[in-house]
Amino acid sequence: MQGMKYRIGLILFSLISIGQPVFAEVDLLIRNARVVDGTGSPWFLSDVAIADGRITEVARHLDRTAHQEIDAAGKVLAPGFIDVHTHVESSPNSAGLKELPGADNYLLDGVTTIITGNCGSSEIDVDDWATSLKGLGLNVATLIGHNSVRREVVGLDNREPLPEEMAQMRALVKKAMQDGAVGFSTGLLYVPGTYAKTTEVVELAKVAAAHGGVYATHIREQGEKLHESITEAVTVGREANMPVQISHLKVKGRTRWGSIGTALELIESYRQNGVDVVVDTYPYDRASTNLGVNLPRWAVAGSATDISSRIDDETMHSRIVSGMKEMLKDGGYPDYSFASVAQYLPDPSYNGRTITEINRLVERSSTIENEIETILEMMVEGGHAGVTQGASMIYHYMSEEDVDAILRYPNAAVASDGSAVEFGRGQVHPRSYGTNARILAKYVREKKVLTLEDAIRRMTSLPARTFSFHDRGIIRPGMIADLVLFDPSKVIDKATFEDPHQYSEGFDVVIVNGLVAVKDGNLNDVRGGSFIRHGATN
């Protein structure tokens, strides 16, 4: 009895301290839920009341009337999942939120908030893009991308920016931050960001830091120079005085499988020395990016025409082939069977096939040299079709053991690195459909790599902390009502590499800003999402 009085008193104190009114009648009342509140604390039984898009009370046996009631019947109620790494801008290879504002693939995976603008690629005019998004099914925030800014000012050339160009880039980053971007992202593997020196990145990051932004980075190298690249990311954070989010941490290549532990130790050593650096990861052993990453970085500078000209030049062609062989050897791959096509515009029959299979399809003998020629031909033809880097690809870069190790690291958030997808279009990576369900089904229920409470923390309060979403990510009075209800014994990801266009199952209810977007596992015709601007009162 004394414990119950203390709990009631604590709740009332919370309500009074944040100025949150207690409603006699609420919009939505969820009863009999096993609440996993997002903090990592043990679950507890509770009712949860919602009014005006916010949680108003969290307590047992609430005596409230409601316009709508949901009996959780002991299922888990968690904060809506926050996916820290997505790509939902429109591109030649995929639709974006403008075309697919409902983002059904995310909602049905329990996601209520996504962060886009990652890997250095973003919309440049944040305010214009935000205004153009209509009928959002979930919440979206964006970073301002270094590659996009550099492309706008410097182009795709392999050179340093002029002083006046640096000033223009700083101005673009500043405007994006003023318009509500949550931070600054880099993709230092990709053109044109790969041609930037660390000093350039630091100078632009400082602009974002002055507005409270986060530095989110696809680091320069994830193979031989993984540790150097982590140190570069931390250097940017230190010199710009801002938090660091290392995107989709991995160690690439069979020759390095099993070595991720030393990278995690390095990251943790920086944390112990006062650097706010965290990571995110996806629960798959295959990555997805473009075809051009197989070529030396110097070879993919400039436009599709520039790239084609180098491939056609006899001397440069020889240098490219030599560099590609060295990269393949460095990764420990005997051929390109680890690389499969997700989307190739000139010939969709390539979709789902490996480079080795495509090489045979075009009636070349199975040699490394011939597979390289097949890649170079695809680069040229893809460029003609408007895709500068050839095609979208899926690569078997990682090992399951390394994925497990990263997920065990307490400061690793869960991310999909996916996009809003059109159901049935292309051979997409299954992570766009099933990332969060996969965490709960495979890594919590089956492999027991994570506890349920800690898995939820990785998908809710940890990303909310990193990106300063102060009123999301935790179930607590006064917080925005982004919630997901599910049975942890039944939730499952259905999407596979062979058949990726399958929605997750088991997320019975998904609530976005207090509105029920998914009911009984099915989409409602409700669009409750919003654009989240950094520093705004939501």
State pLDDT tens for residues 134-148. Answer: 999 999 999 999 999
Is the separation of the CB atoms in 514 and 528 below 8 Å? yes
pLDDT band of 11, cuts 50, 70, 90 = very low
DSSP E strand boundaries for 151-222: 183-187, 214-218
In this structure, the number of other CB atoms found within 10 A of the CB of residue 496 comes to 12
Q: What mean pLDDT do residues 421-445 have?
A: 95
Q: Is the pLDDT of residue 509 over 80?
A: yes
Between β-strands 483-486 and 139-142, what pairing exists: parallel, antiparallel or unpaired? unpaired
Paired with 214 in beta bridges are 183
Q: b/e map of 454-467 (b: 16 or more CB within 10 Å)?
A: bbbbbbbbbbbbbb
Is the separation of the CB atoms in 525 and 137 below 8 Å? no
Q: Is the pLDDT of residue 1 over 50?
A: no
Q: What mean pLDDT do residues 323-350 have?
A: 94
Beta-carbon-side half-sphere exposure of residue 200 (alpha carbons within 13 Å)? 24
pLDDT band of 19, cuts 50, 70, 90 = low
List, for residues 250-265, the tens digit of each pLDDT value.
Answer: 999 999 999 999 999 9
Dihedral angle at the C-alpha atoms of 494, 475, 245, 217, nearest 10 degrees?
A: 50
Q: What mean pLDDT do residues 266-283 have?
A: 97
- The whole-angstrom separation of Cα 142 and Cα 536 is 13
In this structure, the number of other CB atoms found within 10 A of the CB of residue 476 comes to 18
- The whole-angstrom separation of Cα 301 and Cα 181 is 28
Q: What is the CA radius of gyration of the chain?
A: 24
pLDDT band of 10, cuts 50, 70, 90 = very low
Is the separation of the CB atoms in 140 and 532 below 8 Å? yes
Name the token pair of 302: 């400039």
Is the separation of the CB atoms in 95 and 422 below 8 Å? yes
List, for residues 283-336, the tens digit of each pLDDT value.
Answer: 999 999 999 999 999 999 999 999 999 999 999 999 999 999 999 999 999 999
**pLDDT at res. 426:** 83
Name the H helices within 348-467.
355-361, 368-384, 400-408, 431-438, 452-459, 461-466
Could you give phi then psi for residue 463, rounded to 5 degrees?
-65, -35
Q: What mean pLDDT do residues 204-216 have?
A: 98
Name the token pair of 348: 């969709």
Is the separation of the CB atoms in 420 and 88 below 8 Å? yes
**pLDDT at res. 90:** 83
- The whole-angstrom separation of Cα 218 and Cα 222 is 9
List, for residues 392-430, the tens digit of each pLDDT value.
Answer: 999 999 999 999 999 999 999 999 999 999 999 888 999
Is the separation of the CB atoms in 310 and 321 below 8 Å? no
- The whole-angstrom separation of Cα 155 and Cα 501 is 36
- The whole-angstrom separation of Cα 357 and Cα 498 is 15
- Percentage of the residues of the chain whose pLDDT score is greater than 70: 95
What's the burial of 167, exposed, middle or buried (CB within 10 Å: 0-12/13-18/19+)? exposed
**pLDDT at res. 21:** 63
Paired with 5 in beta bridges are none
Please give the mean pLDDT across all residues of the chain. 94
Q: Is the pLDDT of residue 458 over 50?
A: yes
Q: Is the pLDDT of residue 519 over 60?
A: yes
Is the separation of the CB atoms in 477 and 17 below 8 Å? no
- The whole-angstrom separation of Cα 64 and Cα 75 is 21
What's the burial of 499, exposed, middle or buried (CB within 10 Å: 0-12/13-18/19+)? exposed
**pLDDT at res. 22:** 65
In this structure, the number of other CB atoms found within 10 A of the CB of residue 162 comes to 11
SS3 category, 186: strand
List, for residues 145-164, the tens digit of each pLDDT value.
Answer: 999 999 999 999 999 999 99
**pLDDT at res. 4:** 41
Name the token pair of 209: 């830091």
DSSP E strand boundaries for 163-246: 183-187, 214-218, 244-246
The DSSP H or E segment spanning 25 is strand 25-35
Q: What mean pLDDT do residues 259-281 have?
A: 97
Is the separation of the CB atoms in 104 and 503 below 8 Å? yes
Q: For residue 192, is the peptide bond before it cis, meaning its omega torsion is within 30 degrees of 0? A: yes
**pLDDT at res. 238:** 97
DSSP E strand boundaries for 38-172: 44-51, 54-59, 65-71, 76-79, 81-83, 111-116, 139-142, 144-145
Q: Is the pLDDT of residue 7 over 70?
A: no
Q: What mean pLDDT do residues 74-94 have?
A: 92
Q: What mean pLDDT do residues 364-382 have?
A: 96
**pLDDT at res. 536:** 62
